[in-house]
Amino acid sequence: MNPDSKVYVAGHRGLVGSAILRRLEGEGYGNLLTRTRAELDLMDARAVEEFFAAETPEYVFLAAAKVGGILANDTYPVDFLRDNLSIQLNVLDVAHRHSVKKLLLLGSSCIYPKFSPQPMKEEYLLTGELEPTNEPYAIAKIAGIKLCQAYRKQHGADFISVMPTNLYGPGDNFDLQSSHVLPALIRKFHEAKERGDPSVTVWGTGTPRREFLHVDDLACACEFLMDNYSGGRPINVGVGKDLGIGELAALVREVVGYEGKISYDTSKPDGTSRKLLDVSRLSELGWRARIPLREGIEQTYAWFLESRPVGAGG
Ligand code: GDP
């Protein structure tokens, strides 16, 4: 890619898509294409065809997807499976027919087997059963990886796929019912500080381990891979190390400046005990994450303070 390239970021309002857009704008890309969902429904094959025919993007970042937590996946399996399959089928097909130079598909670490050895290598894909609670999403994303590989094999299309670990950063979901742990803790500690609560409740035992990647690092990796990697195998993107939820809670407490106690609600599920990506392939290509966790949490907390909607606590 170069700053004049016509680049389409699909899903630019989401956590990942908005970070990719910020990154490319910051790097001086002046020919960026975006469409909101109201302007272009990616499940409408004809609309996607018309968009590509009219705009002829050269590069595509496919960050548009139906995403959500455990509860949403469980309640709306059709939406997670069908919508994601449909978006991928439409965009990949049209990208191939309109000779897009390169396409990058975003997936997720939940495509790996539930009982995968840790850290998880790319070749563990399809070696065991999936976590049932996010199976609809995972199956759709595995189909996306396979589609990229198939277009490469049958048509020589340069389609690559990227599997990020747990992400956080500006634009995250801070809703306590549906968010992931990191934004939930930022909000919980912040509100407890404001109210002067004596303690904050963290779900589970605090012992599960997770890896956290700032979404701006992911955007940087996506730009890097677009420029430096062409191959059928998916590429993991992570920081290569994890920490316990208890350690994370202590760190968020410090960043927020909350002085009360941390208590654990063990009636809440721990989930999987560890989820860490093996990032050796990405390291060999020459990329590594740069944003230290503390700095990323500080920056995300600042964003939360500026952007949270009125009435969202505090
Ligand atoms: P997961 O990585 O798919 O399991 O998703 P989460 O980010 O939701 O949870 C990660 C871990 O953090 C689990 O062990 C949760 O029990 C734990 N956790 C602790 N406090 C919270 C909280 O307030 N919200 C969420 N979502 N998870 C929490």
Q: What's the average model confidence in pLDDT over 106-113?
A: 95
Q: Does domain 7-168+212-237 have CATH number 3.30.420.10?
A: no
Mean pLDDT of the chain: 95
Closest ligand 1 atom to 245 CA:
12
pLDDT tier at 311, thresholds 50, 70, 90: very low
Ligand 1 centre to CA of 203 (Å) is 7
pLDDT at 181 over 80: yes
Distance 9 CA to ligand 1 centre (A): 29
Q: What is the pLDDT of residue 309?
A: 59
pLDDT-derived band of residue 72, with 50, 70 and 90 as boundaries?
confident
Say which CATH architecture domain 181-209+241-275+293-307 belongs to: Alpha-Beta Complex (3.90)
Q: Is 203 in the pocket of ligand 1 (CB under 6 A)?
A: yes
Radius of gyration, alpha carbons of the chain: 20
- Work out the average pLDDT over 104-132: 96
Cβ atoms of 18 and 171 closer than 8 Å: yes
Long-range CB contacts (within 8 A, 24+) of 30-35: 30/3, 30/4, 31/3, 31/4, 31/5, 31/6, 31/7, 32/7, 32/8, 33/6, 33/7, 33/8, 33/9, 33/57, 34/8, 34/9, 35/10
Of 166, 167, 149, the residue nearest 158 (C-alpha): 149
Give the C-alpha separation, 106 to 91, whole Å. Answer: 13
**pLDDT attached to residue 152:** 98
User: pLDDT tens digits, residue range 17-41?
Assistant: 999 999 999 999 999 999 999 999 9
Phi, psi of 8 (to 5 degrees): -100, 120
Q: Quick one: average pLDDT of 41-50?
A: 98
All residues at 6 or more sequence positions from 302 whose CB lies less than 8 Å from its CB, including other chains = none
| Amino acid found at 179 | S
Write out pLDDT tens, residues 126-161. 999 999 888 999 999 999 999 999 999 999 999 999
Test site for ligand 1: of 180, 185, 190, most ligand atoms within 8 A of the Cβ: 180
Instruction: Report whether residue 167 contacts ligand 1, using a CB cutoff of 6 Å.
Output: no
264 is catalytic: no
Q: What pLDDT is recorded for position 29?
A: 98
Phi, psi of 122 (to 5 degrees): -60, -35
Separation of alpha carbons 50 and 172, rounded Å:
32
Q: Whose CA is nearest to atom 22 of ligand 1?
A: 181
Check if 183 has its Cβ closer than 6 Å to any atom of ligand 1. no
Q: Is the confidence at residue 121, as pLDDT, over 50?
A: yes
Residues in Cβ contact with 304 at an 8 Å cutoff, skipping those fewer than 6 apart: 174, 183, 186, 187, 190
Contact (Cβ atoms closer than 8 angstroms) between residue 122 and residue 234: yes
Q: Averaged over 279-305, what is the pLDDT?
A: 98
Ligand 1 centre from 109 Cα, in Å? 15
Q: Higher pLDDT residue, 70 or 218?
A: 218
Question: What is the whole-number distance in angstroms between the Cα of residue 8 and the centre of ligand 1?
Answer: 33
Given the CA of residue 185, which atom of ligand 1 is nearest to it? 23
Ligand 1 lined by 166 (C-beta under 6 Å): yes
Q: Is the pLDDT of residue 177 over 90?
A: no
Counting atoms of ligand 1 from 1, which one is nearest the CA of 275? Answer: 2
Q: Whose CA is nearest to atom 27 of ligand 1?
A: 181
Query: Would you say the CB of residue 213 lies under 6 angstroms from ligand 1?
Result: no
What's the pLDDT at 5?
98
* Atom 12 in ligand 1: residue holding the nearest Cα: 181
In the chain, pLDDT over 90 holds for what percent of residues?
89
pLDDT band of residue 313 (cuts 50, 70, 90) is very low
Please identify which of the residues 8, 29, 59, 137 carries the catalytic annotation.
137
What are the extents of the domains in the chain? 7-168+212-237, 181-209+241-275+293-307
